[in-house]
Amino acid sequence: MLSAMQYPHWLMVAGAVLVVFGFVGIELLKSSAEPAEDNLGQEVTPPEERAQLRSRLTQGPPEFREDRVDRPKAKGK
């Protein structure tokens, strides 16, 4: 049977095998990935520092304030 298969059929079999290997690889990557809670390498800003930064934005120079009203207008026709 295998020797009777023509070239296009071999290509279809090879493609199907590659697709199966791809799905198996995806599942292996998902199972070996560590959960996000365990990833402590990422630095997180403490809440006190975030509050200080937020107050600087609201009390800083006018060009950095969030509530300023003199924003540049969009160019139109």
* Average pLDDT for 15-25: 96
Q: What is the largest CA-CA distance in the chain?
A: 80
The predicted structure's pLDDT at residue 47: 80
* Spatial contact of 20 and 27, defined as CB atoms under 8 Å apart: no
Q: Which amino acid is at 5?
A: M
Taking only the tens place, the pLDDT of each residue in 22-54 is 999 999 888 776 665 655 555 667 788 878 877
Across the chain, mean pLDDT equals: 76
Q: What is the pTM of this model?
A: 0.40
The predicted structure's pLDDT at residue 30: 82
pLDDT top residue among 2 and 24 = 24
